Chains A and B, each alone.
Chain A
Amino acid sequence: MAGALIVGLLLLVALLAPVLSPYPPDAINYRHLLSPPSTEHLLGTDDLGRDILSRLLYGAQLSLSAGISAVILSVLVGVPVGLVAGYAGGMTDELVMRVFDSIIALPPLVLALTISAVLGPGLVNATIAIAIVAVPTYARLIRGQVLSIKNNDYILAARSVGVSSRAVLFRHILPNVISPIIVQAALGVGFAIILESSLSFIGLGAQPPTSTWGSMVQTSFQYLELAPWFVIAPSVAIFVAVLGANLLGEGLRNFLDPNQKKAAQKT
């Protein structure tokens, strides 16, 4: 599982940032502005002479936690809503799904941009905006699953012994529908990291002096000709994180879905 390895490594690096960083991320050094990679500064320095490697490591903390908490937030909202909509059916279902359809109809980046602009710039607001954009994905996914299993005999049997609707939903239906959500959540982390980077790039995410990978890319853009190494480091970090999340998602899918597993073995 390459995905798990990459994601695990990234999380470890982010957690150990204070130990691993050679310099404090905010230490300004006017004698080394935009210096190229050297033994002193492995990835060079930025426009204020700050060590890019250190900023990258600390940025990992913010980028990853923003991506992960956005996904957790949208799962926490989307899953219960989708469960209830799928189980209740009728008007409730119609109403909820039409609202979500209208959210999905908008391009995710544009929507996230609008929401975080309305909420005001900042990493927390950007995270909330990303979560809102992603909620319908989870709600729709779980609703479809609920629809396909709610007419099973064992659901009727559970109801026939007097289990309440809420208990049927959470004790009997949820365990049967959760595995695609786990897969989707892993894939969603990659998507959330991209969105967060995009928002930070535009300036709606993390505000200086803290920086995420996205805002580092943005700063580096102004010095593209002078210091090309500056843009490469955070871009590669984003790339690796998203790749890791996607690989993890796919690995989980193969692991959790017996049909996929067989198909994978055949090829």
Chain B
Amino acid sequence: MTAAALKIRGLCVQIDGRFDVVKNLSFSVCPGETVCLVGESGCGKSISALSILRLLPPVARSVAGEIYFNGQNLLGLPESELRRIRGNDIAMIFQEPMSSLNPLRTIGFQIAEVMMLHMGWSRAAAWARAAELLEIVRIPDVPQVLDGYPHQLSGGMRQRVMLAMALACKPAVILADEPTTALDVTIQAQITGLLAEMQQKFGTAIVLITHDMGLVAENADRVVVMYAGRKVEEAPVQEFFQHPAHPYSRGLLNSLPQLGAANSCGQERLKEIPGMVPALGDLPSGCPFFPRCEHSDGICREQFPSYESVGIDHIAACWHPRAMEENQQ
């Protein structure tokens, strides 16, 4: 296994100094690999990504853990050095392309700014490169777009611009926070296709945050499942879809609609996970999932399970991963 491009160990993030939004999160991404972070809204996916670049909102703070990039702990770096990494070595793509571009700045300026910052290029050189980048992300009519403003572009176009910005300095890692959620399906496929293409070309490591299992199946090499701020399972993508070990992962996969599964139109209800994600303020002690889990017993209430290996490169935090599988059969 090659050295990880980005390695997160024991990351804990708190809000208001009281609520754990991310607890003891560890995972790593290798060059050329795509790791998908999946889970329900509010399970700490985006917060984890923001804490990698230390862009957390003021109420949130990472209180423990290490994030290694290039042998340096990002959480210990001074702001000025971190700024050199942002956009240059680690780039981020956001969920909302409609609001992620400055409405009063031209597209060209916003892409060129990244390169003027990190490469020290002149304005002309940066603009020329910005034009190339827009070609790469297949934007038609490049010169016009360069001088245009965000409101003149559609959502899909803007996300391409964001992608161009992210690729500007050929970063080693791209953090993509639900990059296609706001886009329709065909544009989704184009954007993820572009991402994959860039990954092959430059060997970029990608952390893809999503709750779209289809996206996971198509793009991920490995999957990290989060629930209530904790990693509950990590597995290679094939293994994850074939033998999900954690009851929560199983629930997620079971709740997907399956083509042709229902006997006729809508006769069979979609399976759901009973209950709700616990509020941050009153996480149950022990395994956070136990109130919604059909296999829970005494020990689940008391102690968070340790991460046990349940297969090759496959770990899960569950007291009864096997019981589940037996149940299934």
Residues of A within 8 A of B (CB): 89-90, 151-154, 156-164, 171-172, 175-176
Contact with A along B100-120 (1 / 0, CB 8 A): 111111000000011001100
A152:B99 contact, CB within 8 angstroms: yes
Known: A157-B162, A162-B86. A176 touches B104 (CB 8 A): yes
Contact of B84 among A151, A162, A176 (CB under 8 A): A162
B87-95, B232-240, B270-278, B305-313: which lies at the interface: B87-95
Residues in chain B near residue A162, CB distance under 8 A: 83-88, 114, 117-118
A161:B55 contact, CB within 8 angstroms: no
A161:B101 contact, CB within 8 angstroms: no
B317 to nearest A CB, angstroms?
30
Residues in chain A near residue B88, CB distance under 8 A: 162
B99:A154 contact, CB within 8 angstroms: yes
Contact of B91 among A89, A151, A156, A161 (CB under 8 A): A161
B58 CB within 8 Å of chain A: yes
B86:A160 contact, CB within 8 angstroms: yes
B99:A160 contact, CB within 8 angstroms: no
A161:B103 contact, CB within 8 angstroms: no
- Could you list 25 examples of A-B contacts with CB < 8 Å? A89-B58, A151-B57, A152-B99, A154-B100, A157-B92, A157-B100, A157-B162, A157-B165, A158-B113, A159-B55, A160-B55, A160-B87, A160-B92, A161-B86, A161-B92, A161-B117, A162-B83, A162-B84, A162-B86, A162-B88, A162-B114, A162-B117, A162-B118, A163-B117, A176-B102
A-contacting residues, B165-202, CB 8 Å: 165, 168
A163:B113 contact, CB within 8 angstroms: yes
Residues of B within 8 A of A (CB): 53, 55, 57-58, 83-88, 91-92, 94, 96, 99-105, 113-114, 117-118, 162, 165, 168
A154:B91 contact, CB within 8 angstroms: no
B6 to nearest A CB, angstroms?
15
Contact of A154 among B53, B103, B114, B117 (CB under 8 A): B103
A177 to nearest B CB, angstroms?
10
A77 to nearest B CB, angstroms?
24
Residues in chain A near residue B165, CB distance under 8 A: 157, 161
Q: How far is the CA of A153 from the CA of B83 in the complex (A)?
A: 18
A156:B94 contact, CB within 8 angstroms: yes
Residues in chain A near residue B85, CB distance under 8 A: 162
B59 to nearest A CB, angstroms?
11
Q: How far is the CA of A171 from the CA of B102 in the complex (A)?
A: 10
A206 to nearest B CB, angstroms?
41
Q: How far is the CA of A153 from the CA of B182 in the complex (A)?
A: 14
A158:B83 contact, CB within 8 angstroms: no
Residues in chain A near residue B162, CB distance under 8 A: 157
Considering residues A153, A156, A161, which has the most beta carbons from chain B within 10 angstroms of its beta carbon?
A161
Considering residues A154, A157, A171, A172, which has the most beta carbons from chain B within 10 angstroms of its beta carbon?
A157
Q: For the A-B complex with A162-B83, A175-B104 known, give 11 more contacts whose Cβ atoms are closer than 8 Å.
A: A158-B102, A158-B113, A160-B55, A161-B86, A161-B91, A161-B165, A162-B84, A162-B118, A163-B87, A175-B105, A176-B103
A161:B104 contact, CB within 8 angstroms: no
Minimum CB distance partner of B49 in chain A: A160
Minimum CB distance partner of A159 in chain B: B55
Residues in chain A near residue B53, CB distance under 8 A: 160
Minimum CB distance partner of A173 in chain B: B102
A157:B86 contact, CB within 8 angstroms: no
B99:A153 contact, CB within 8 angstroms: yes
